[in-house]
């Protein structure tokens, strides 16, 4: 997984998987991506960065079930009353965290940081299950599933999902029709 340089073959693969709905007309362009990064104090990881600049800013095709949301957007089921999202603060987790069923109540501050710090929201599978791309911190470039029950990194190296880690691996896994979690 290379988060610093986009492989043209990977971009072609992402284009084929996700651009059936608008043929790339929604791509932001580099000036808009640079403005977003400057506003939020981050550099988006590759290949996602090149994807939104040159290929498409979101996709109704998927993943996840309700489509890939645009870079600056949140899924329609995100809900009101959440804390401010701060992308420049590091994503707080380095290992999975399952708080549902834990004997202790989750730390509210850490919970809010998990949903709001250091990641862009890629989309939702509904019922409060969100996919995030980490943009700052030790897991930069990784995709995490965050829900009301816990937060889990995607990818075989984490024992979750069986696919390659990162945005391209996440899309490949979806495009192959694989289950998100090993059964």
- Tell me, what DSSP letter sits at residue 36? H
Q: Look up the CATH architecture of domain 8-175.
A: 3-Layer(aba) Sandwich (3.40)
Residue 154 reports pLDDT greater than 80 = yes
pLDDT in tens, 3-54: 788 999 999 999 888 875 566 678 999 999 999 999 999 999 999 999 999 9
Give the integer Cα–Cα distance in Å for 73 and 70.
5
Residue 81 reports pLDDT greater than 90 = no
Residue 123 reports pLDDT greater than 70 = yes
**What 3-state DSSP class applies to 164?**
coil
Separation of first and last alpha carbons in the chain: 25
Confidence of residue 105 (pLDDT cuts 50, 70, 90): low
For the chain, give the percent of residues with pLDDT over 70.
91
pLDDT of residue 3: 78
Check if the beta carbon of residue 11 is closer than 8 Å to that of residue 52: no
- Tell me, what DSSP letter sits at residue 143? E
Check if the beta carbon of residue 153 is closer than 8 Å to that of residue 160: yes
Using alpha carbons, list the distances in angstroms from residue 24 to 50, 131, 168: 12, 22, 17
Please state the pTM of the whole predicted model. Answer: 0.91
Using alpha carbons, list the distances in angstroms from residue 181 to 5, 115, 145, 165: 28, 20, 11, 13
């Amino acid at each position: 997984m290379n988060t610093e340089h986009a492989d043209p073959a990977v971009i072609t693969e992402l284009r084929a998987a996700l651009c059936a709905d608008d043929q790339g007309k929604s791509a932001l362009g580099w000036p808009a991506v640079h403005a977003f990064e400057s506003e939020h104090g981050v550099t988006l990881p590759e290949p996602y960065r090149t994807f939104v600049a040159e290929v498409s800013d979101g996709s109704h095709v998927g993943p996840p079930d309700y489509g890939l949301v645009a870079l600056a957007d949140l899924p329609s089921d995100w809900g009101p009353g959440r804390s401010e999202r701060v992308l420049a603060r590091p994503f707080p987790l380095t290992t999975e965290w399952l708080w549902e069923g834990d004997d202790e109540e989750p730390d509210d501050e850490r919970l809010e940081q998990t949903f709001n710090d250091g990641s862009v929201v890629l989309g939702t599978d509904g019922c409060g299950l969100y996919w995030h791309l980490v943009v700052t911190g030790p897991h930069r470039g990784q995709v995490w599933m965050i829900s009301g029950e816990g937060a889990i990194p995607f990818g075989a190296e984490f024992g979750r999902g069986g696919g390659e880690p990162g945005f391209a691996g996440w899309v490949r896994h979806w495009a192959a029709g694989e289950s998100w979690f090993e059964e």
